[in-house]
Amino acid sequence: MKNSSLKTKIKNKEVTIGSWITLGHTSIAEIMAKAGFDWLVIDMEHSAITLHEAQELIKVIELSGIVPLVRVGNNDSTLIKRVMDAGAHGVIVPMVNCSEDAIKAVNAVKYPPTGQRGVGLARAQGYGLEFERYKNWVNKESIVIVQIESVDAINNLEEILSVDIDGFIIGPYDLSASMGKPGEFDHPDVVNALTKVKEVSQEMGAVSGFHVIPPDSGVVIKMIQEGYKFIAFSLDTLFLGLKCGEEMDKIKSLRHFESRQK
């Protein structure tokens, strides 16, 4: 049913690279799925993507042989249950600031006795025809990644990482914003916070992740060298918009040069 090796890779602390989808069109998911990512995240926090659109995107990603994850809008058990029922292989949960938040996320994904998720018979369960297989799969193979993106989360990192989650991912914009320094990634306070995260995660043997916003492979390589394992590489709109802009700038520059030669 779901033969994803992502869970094994995470457990083995292998580097995996994914990306973010914010446009609710299946063609976007299909194009990005063919690019070679290990996983793709459907963003339902900062996008206009609906649950129905998310399910269609999950289908396309899964049928392309890539792992579909969903970043839910908040740490809400009903939201998490619904995207899991739609077929997501796991969730990324924003604003996890303490161990109670992390436990809540795990409980929303897993069935009893591991968690507290209610049972539905939707797409994930083969519309009722494959419940037993899904039940065995979900508690062993589903993925829970929490986002560390606030000062509170940094201060409570040890207790968060003590919960049975698969890993965490740093949201750099929100983390810097929580310090009153939105987007100032070189500010000493932000640098010190990231250093603390790295030190604590290494001490606890946690799988650390980072969302590299610019579509720059050099930054991804730098994050890998720094020890991050679960790396989100940019997002659909930036890949599209920046590439369009870069190539048009080259054309405009050439046209300007040619006009001067006349």
- Unique residue bearing structure tokens 């998720």: 117
User: Helix 99-109 vs helix 77-85: angle between axes, to the nearest 10 degrees?
Assistant: 30
Res 257 pLDDT > 90? no
Q: What is the pLDDT of residues 33-42, one digit of tens each?
A: 999 999 999 9
R_g of the chain computed on alpha carbons: 20
| Domain spanning 6-261: CATH superfamily | Phosphoenolpyruvate-binding domains (3.20.20.60)
Compute the mean pLDDT over every residue in the chain, rounded to the nearest whole number: 95
Res 1 pLDDT > 60? no
Q: What is the pLDDT of residues 62-91, one digit of tens each?
A: 999 999 999 999 999 999 999 999 999 999
**DSSP per-residue letters across 10-55:** HHTT--EEEEEE-S--HHHHHHHHTTT-SEEEEESSSS---HHHHH
pLDDT for the residue 3: 44
Q: What is the pLDDT of residues 91-118, one digit of tens each?
A: 999 999 999 999 999 999 999 999 999 9
List b or e across 7-20, with b for residues whose CB sees 16 or more CB atoms inside 10 angstroms.
bebbeeeeebbbbb
Cα angle, residue 163 at apex, residues 88 and 39 outer, rounded to 5°: 30
Region 178-194: mean pLDDT is 93
Identify the weakest region by mean pLDDT among 2-16, 135-149, 211-225: 2-16
Asked if residue 196 lies in contact with residue 216, where contact means CB atoms within 8 angstroms, the answer is no
Q: Which residues are catalytic?
A: 46
Asked if residue 84 lies in contact with residue 144, where contact means CB atoms within 8 angstroms, the answer is no
Q: What is the pLDDT of residues 189-222, one digit of tens each?
A: 999 999 999 999 999 999 999 999 999 999 999 9
pLDDT for the residue 262: 60
pLDDT for the residue 2: 45
Q: What is the pLDDT of residues 237-254, one digit of tens each?
A: 999 999 999 999 999 988
Burial of 100 (0-12, 13-18, 19+ CB in 10 A): middle
Region 252-260: mean pLDDT is 73
